[in-house]
Amino acid sequence: MRSTFLTLLGLLIAGSGQLTTARQDARSIVAGMVTQDRDGDATAEVRMEVVDSRGRSRFRTLTLWSRTAQEGERQQLIRFTAPADIRGTGFLSLQNGAVREAWLYLPALKRTRRIAGTGRNDRFVGTDFSFRDLEPERVDEYSYALVEETMLDSSAVWVVDARPGESLDDPYSRRRLWISKAESVLLRAEFHDQDDLVVKSYSASDVRQPPGSTKWRAHVLKMESPGEGTRTVLEITSYLLDTGLDSAQFTKRSLERGG
Amino acid sequence: MGNSITYRFALRRPRATILGIALITAVMVWQASGLEISNSVDAILPADHPALLQDREIKSVFESREMILIGFLLDEGIFNQATLQKVADLSGEIEDITLMDPATRTRLAERYTRLPERYQERFLSAVRESSRARASALAERMWREARRDSIGADAQGLLEELRLRTHPVSEVLSLSTVDDIVATEDGLALRRPMPVVPVSSAAMSRLRTSVYQNPLFVNGLVSRDGTGILVLVEMSFYYDDHIEVAKDLLDSLSAIVRTYEGPEKTVVAGVPMVNVFTSSQMNADLARLMPLAIGVLFLVLWYAFRSPMLATVPLVLVLITLAWTLGIMALAGRPVTLVVSAMPIILIAIGVADGIHLITEYRAQWPLAEDKRSALTATMGTLAGAVVVTSLTDVAGFGSLASSGLASIRDFGVFTSVGALVALGLSLTLVPAVLVLLPPPPPLREEGRLPRVPGIRRHRRRPILIAAGALVLVAGLLIPTLKTGGTMVGYFKTDSEIAEASRLINDHFGGTEVLNVVVDTHEVDGLKDATVLRGIAAIQDSLEGLDVVGYTASIADYVARMDQVLTGRDQILGQDRVEDESDPRDRARIAQYLLLYENAGGNDTEKLADFDYRKANVVVQIRTDRTPILREVRNVASRVAATMLGASTSVTYAGCSNLCIVADDLIIPSQLRSLGTAALAVFLLLLLLFRSAWQAAAAMVPLVITIMVVFALMSLFGVHLDAVTALIASIVLGVGIDYSVHFISRFKFFLREGSGSEAAVQAVRTTARPILFNSLAVGLGFSVLLFSSFWPLIHIGWVVGSTMVLAAVLTLTVLPALLPRD
């Protein structure tokens, strides 16, 4: 009932030429989510399951350190912890605006190699997630529109459409976001291609506050690619926020240290 | 007698009989129009054969399907801007190919009511959608959804067709689409060898160098000498599951490729192409050979009966027999294969023989009878028994093929037997019904003289038996050199389009035939063991040492390539390995390389290793499809695997090449078994008919000698025994035994009046003409196969054509010599 009323209200507002109000609303909703989402740094133990189109699973565990220095500047270090034969394999990714640099450390060779030509849209370590999917939303680069307010499972959510600006290399023509009102956490997202078909869909669950933090985090993240029939589940078994990681911990030397 | 009821009814109610037969014929023609033509090896093997099931399973594990090979050939070299631009353009065009012409859209749209209502609207909008990507995405989604809902086979099939037609090609492999693992100044990258076509000569030579540095490309995508370049197209489905869509795809591909022709020569080859070409040639063959056979026989019959109208009667019988037999095949859901395509000609030969006997006898009876009906009643009374028996021997001869291990031979046997029975039924109903309505026949005069065959007038027993013995001896010496082994491309004449395309591809690249050597370690991550990868590499090395193997690829190649790129050396598999013992660090190294490759977005290894690295698929390309050579390749792989891979690792085979070998292995034992069964069945029939074991055995002798000569001739002229030529012996037995039946029937008739030697001479005197005439007619009927496009059918044509006459001569010489004198 409430959502119907709001839709009607929205139509009335739109009809009276005050469309901008709704758009700003959507934008502030997303901005709220970004603020909530932003952390100085995070350390996560991740259990990763990649399922292929025939339903077969591959399990890996890894530790993920990430740090956002400022908007658009993101540092990530991944170290695999299991299975044994890849333990210590590390992956360092430094994103600065549109420029990404990536290095790989193979303990078997005790050597770091730069990986050329990786972009934000590439798959994150062979999963259904892309690097972009795991970054915080960049509010300035998108235009947002509130679609409706509704319930998703037992949470009240805003449903917002995000469309990339002209110059963006975003592969999706539109993303539909379901943002929880209570925690400002992204609970669900659908990624539409140029033909407006859903190519990936994201869902998050087990939303709680990591120990010692007031921020809300989903601890189970799932990404499905319906076209390819594959999916990835990232289960965060330990989550620490804002422990004071600094950029010295995101260097080639630190990449090699853990091996 | 049942048969007397049938012809008596037919004579009393000829119009009703004809009308009834015409109605059934109409239904059968309508049925036969739905016949499917299939030519892959899969159709030759029975659907439940373990090798076929295993092949399917392996293909699904590695998601590998038949490849279509498109080659650009240019003697001056393909590393020039224009040719490479064509490769890039063609790759793009094929990736976006769709098989939705307006007629197909209309046809699919008309069927939307077969779907549950919630799909109908989406289905129609997908059918009408002009963007391929969007139509494909919609179709894919509906198909997945429907599969979850289990909406029924018919509806699912419709969605599947839409899905395939909007996305018929799953992958295009060429220099502009595949990934190359390359070293950069301080690292590694996965990039296309040719993201853009080089313009400057410096860029061109860089491309050339980088391509030839990756062993996976040489012979795989470019020819070693640089005069050829390939675009590989993988269909998004298995050829046999959707033959019609496959045909449309190949037609469409060929049309696109033609637009790129010149100055480069373009060729399209590969197993699906061969299958489709075989089907279209088979259709063309039937369209050409059937009228020819009927025309030839019409002339022979006209000459024999002195009446064009009478000559048409056996031909009508033959045509109706064909319609019914093909209709029954369609009802049974069996496809027409190359083997089965020989059936119409054989049915023509069988059907005409009955007609000849009946009409000849009718003409003899007519002057003695008061009206047509009593002449025909007398004719049928005399001959119905013989017609039944000769038809039953046909059924025994061909029916025995039903025990064959090869599905297409089994179908051939079963449906030729069915055809023989249909012809029998029509001979007892349609022929008398038509004859009673036609004007009376020209009476039979004392036509012609006895042909001068030695031994017909006076019987010299000893020289005949010595000559026969010599023939058996010579044939017996030649038979062991008979070669077996089928081929598909080799079936075509060398100047045919597909034979030339295959030859050019085989000359320039790795080869059109694929053998999959599947190495199963039976444990998760088993492939990360360096000794397993070394074993795989050793198998590849030995295979590449063979002249016929042009290319191999495996997961070991990728690991070696990564090793080379990352360390600059070939430490795990190659010559840079320090010692013989396995380095414990190798396993981690391999695992980390593979992880790196996955993480870098590489997916070319998906077809070479399964998801959890238990099984490896070694792709071996071979430049011929001759099965004995394929078998040798497989044997080499087995030998190396046995010594280089541990006992816990097993090796199996898949791919077209393997199926060819398996089919081939079935031919000889199954052929011997079928022949044995046929001989036994025919012997029992003769025993029943003659009530004399000696006579029944003697009746077999001319046939046994003829069959030995058949194999000797094949051996002498290098005709390989394969799924198609394996039929010759059965055809000769089934058709040739009729001569013995006629001869011994006559012999027994005369034996009531005199001694054995007297009866033999009389039997020769009276049967020589019809038997020789019959064999000549059958021989001529088969000789139209000489005009076929397929070598095996040509072989059937000349071997059967010539040996039928031999069988007739042997029946008239050796058989009397074996019968008792008193």
Residue A86: closest C-alpha in chain B: B592
CB spacing of A108 vs B588 below 8 angstroms: yes
Chain A residues with beta carbon closer than 8 angstroms to that of B131: 195
How many contacts does A have with B, using Cβ atoms within 8 A?
Answer: 95
Q: Does residue B281 share a domain with residue B187?
A: no
CB spacing of A116 vs B600 below 8 angstroms: no
Indicate whether B455 pLDDT > 60: no
pLDDT of residue B398: 87
In the chain, the amino acid numbered B676 is: G
B142, B592, B597, B614: best to mutate for the A interface, most A CBs within 10 A: B592
Q: Does residue B623 share a domain with residue B538?
A: yes
Rounded to the nearest angstrom, the minimum Cα separation between A121 and chain B is: 11
Q: Report the mean per-residue pLDDT for chain B.
A: 86
Q: Does residue B510 share a domain with residue B416?
A: no
Closest CA to B238 of B661, B634, B654: B654
Q: Is B112 domain-assigned?
A: yes
Q: Does residue B229 share a domain with residue B285?
A: no
Whether the upstream peptide bond of residue A83 has omega within 30° of 0, thus cis, is yes
The string of pLDDT tens digits covering residues A66-76 is 888 776 688 88
Q: Is B46 domain-assigned?
A: no
The string of pLDDT tens digits covering residues B537-553 is 999 999 999 999 999 99
Rounded to the nearest angstrom, the minimum Cα separation between B110 and chain A is: 25
Q: Does residue B721 share a domain with residue B739?
A: yes
Q: Does residue B429 share a domain with residue B367?
A: yes
Q: Does residue B475 share a domain with residue B621?
A: no
Please tell me if residue B147 touches chain A, with a CB cutoff of 8 Å.
no
Q: Is B629 domain-assigned?
A: yes
Q: Which of B622, B654, B686 is the last residue of a domain?
A: B654
B140, B145, B180, B596: best to mutate for the A interface, most A CBs within 10 A: B596
**Would you place residue B632 in the very low, low, confident or very high pLDDT band (cuts 50, 70, 90)?**
very high
Residue B528: closest C-alpha in chain A: A85
| Tokens 């549109």 -> residue | A98
CB spacing of A118 vs B600 below 8 angstroms: yes
Write out the residue range of the structural domain in which residue B718 sits.
2-40+277-444+455-484+662-818
pLDDT of residue B562: 86
Q: What angle do helix axes B656-690 and B727-751 make, rounded to 10 degrees?
A: 0
**Would you place residue A119 in the very low, low, confident or very high pLDDT band (cuts 50, 70, 90)?**
low
Please tell me if residue B720 touches chain A, with a CB cutoff of 8 Å.
no
CB spacing of A86 vs B141 below 8 angstroms: no
Which residues does residue B654 pair with via DSSP β-bridges, in sequence order? B516
Q: Which residue has the higher pLDDT, B159 or B278?
A: B159
Token pair of A116, please? Answer: 């050329």
Q: Is B417 domain-assigned?
A: yes
CB spacing of B601 vs A122 below 8 angstroms: yes
Work out how many domains chain B is built from and give that number.
4
Rounded to the nearest angstrom, the minimum Cα separation between B736 and chain A is: 56
What is the percent of chain B where pLDDT is above 70?
94
pLDDT of residue A71: 67
Residue B563: closest C-alpha in chain A: A109
Q: Does residue B505 share a domain with residue B356?
A: no
Chain A residues with beta carbon closer than 8 angstroms to that of B528: 85
In the chain, the amino acid numbered B740 is: S
Please tell me if residue B566 touches chain A, with a CB cutoff of 8 Å.
yes
Token pair of A150, please? Answer: 């509704």
Q: Is B396:B420 a contact under the CB 8 Å cutoff? A: no
Rounded to the nearest angstrom, the minimum Cα separation between B30 and chain A is: 41
The string of pLDDT tens digits covering residues B2-14 is 567 778 888 888 8
Residue A119: closest C-alpha in chain B: B600
CB spacing of A113 vs B187 below 8 angstroms: yes
Closest CA to B380 of B369, B394, B395, B396: B369
Region A89-109: mean pLDDT is 83
Q: Does residue B689 share a domain with residue B814?
A: yes
Please tell me if residue B588 touches chain A, with a CB cutoff of 8 Å.
yes
Please tell me if residue B450 touches chain A, with a CB cutoff of 8 Å.
no
Count of C-beta atoms within a 10 Å radius of residue B644: 18
Give the integer Cα–Cα distance in Å for B669 and B472: 22
Please tell me if residue A109 touches chain B, with a CB cutoff of 8 Å.
yes
Q: Is B47 domain-assigned?
A: no
Give the integer Cα–Cα distance in Å for B143 and A226: 12
pLDDT of residue B449: 43
- The SS3 call for residue A91 is strand
CATH number at residue B808: 1.20.1640.10
Q: Does residue B798 share a domain with residue B679?
A: yes
Token pair of B723, please? Answer: 């799924």
B83-87, B266-270, B769-773: segment of lowest average pLDDT: B769-773
Residue A55: closest C-alpha in chain B: B611
CB spacing of B525 vs A111 below 8 angstroms: no
Q: Does residue B299 share a domain with residue B428?
A: yes
Please tell me if residue B13 touches chain A, with a CB cutoff of 8 Å.
no
Chain B residues with beta carbon closer than 8 angstroms to that of A227: 137, 140-141
CB spacing of A195 vs B587 below 8 angstroms: no
- The SS3 call for residue A219 is strand
Q: Is B726:B401 a contact under the CB 8 Å cutoff? A: no
Q: Are strands B187-191 and A111-115 parallel, antiparallel or unpaired?
A: parallel
- ipTM higher than 0.90? no
What is the percent of chain A where pLDDT is above 70?
86
Residue A124: closest C-alpha in chain B: B599
The string of pLDDT tens digits covering residues B234-261 is 999 888 788 889 999 999 999 999 999 9
pLDDT of residue B540: 95
**Would you place residue B391 in the very low, low, confident or very high pLDDT band (cuts 50, 70, 90)?**
confident
Give the integer Cα–Cα distance in Å for B215 and B551: 9
Which residues does residue A190 pair with via DSSP β-bridges, in sequence order? A176, A201
* Sign of the alpha-carbon torsion through B570, B571, B573, B578: positive
Please tell me if residue A197 touches chain B, with a CB cutoff of 8 Å.
yes
Q: Does residue B775 share a domain with residue B707?
A: yes
CATH 2.50.20.10 correct for A2-257: yes
In the chain, the amino acid numbered A255 is: L
Q: Is B54 domain-assigned?
A: no
Q: Is B340 domain-assigned?
A: yes
CB spacing of A108 vs B592 below 8 angstroms: yes
Residue-range domain boundaries for chain A: 2-257
